[in-house]
């Protein structure tokens, strides 16, 4: 269950950032996650709620923005959005695809009190 380690990373980062700002409480965290990360939002939210208990992020809302996978065909140069993890070029049906997006995992925004 890789959601637990992701939740721990998020918690470490947001708590450190909020404490640096002198914040007393974290109310909302916006996370940008590429589709290739295969995060199950419910599991991530659950893990986060559990480990955030007793910290300044206790009760914080975790918003997840999923970024679609983007690919570029090495054969014809076509750029497209990969749907359902089908790494096939829609133009030439080529399978030599370079992944150009949808792999990121970063914290976009932290709201504090
Ligand atoms: Zn192609």
Which pLDDT score, from 0 to 100, does residue 85 have? 86
Distance between Cα 85 and ligand 1 center (Å):
16
How far away, in angstroms, is 97 Cα from ligand 1 center?
A: 8
What's the pLDDT band for 1 if we cut at 50, 70, 90?
low
Whether 58 contacts 52, CB under 8 Å:
yes
Contacts (Cβ under 8 Å, ≥6 apart) of 89: 71, 73, 75, 76, 78, 80, 95, 97
pLDDT in tens, 36-85: 998 999 999 999 999 999 999 999 999 999 999 999 999 999 999 999 88
Q: Which domains does the chain have, with CATH numbers?
A: 2-112 (3.30.2320.80)
Compute the distance from residue 95 Cα to the ligand 1 centre, in Å. 8
Q: With the CA atoms of 13, 18, 20 and 24 taken in that order, what torsion angle do they form, in degrees rounded to the nearest 10?
A: -140
Query: Which CA distances in Å does 29 have to 24, 62, 81?
Result: 15, 5, 26
Tokens representing 78 are 């076509």
Report the separation in Å between the CA atom of 87 and the middle of ligand 1, taken as the mean of its atom positions.
Answer: 11
Ligand 1 center to 38 CA (angstroms) = 25
Q: What are the residues whose beta carbons fall under 8 Å from the beta carbon of 43, sequence distance 6 or more?
A: 1, 3
pTM confidence score: 0.84
C-alpha dihedral (26, 30, 34, 37), degrees to nearest 10 = 30
Residues by chain with Cβ below 5 Å of ion ligand 1 = 73, 75-76, 78, 89, 91-92, 94
């Amino acid at each position: 269950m890789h959601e637990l380690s992701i939740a721990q990373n998020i918690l470490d980062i947001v708590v450190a950032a909020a404490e640096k700002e002198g914040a007393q409480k974290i109310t909302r965290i916006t996370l940008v996650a590429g589709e290739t990360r295969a995060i199950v939002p419910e599991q991530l939210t659950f893990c986060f709620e559990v480990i955030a208990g007793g910290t300044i992020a206790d009760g914080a809302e975790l918003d997840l923005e999923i970024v679609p996978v983007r690919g570029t065909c090495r054969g014809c140069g076509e750029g497209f959005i990969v749907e359902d993890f089908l790494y096939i070029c829609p133009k030439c049906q080529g399978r030599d695809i370079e992944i150009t997006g949808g792999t990121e995992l970063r914290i976009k925004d932290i709201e504090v009190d």
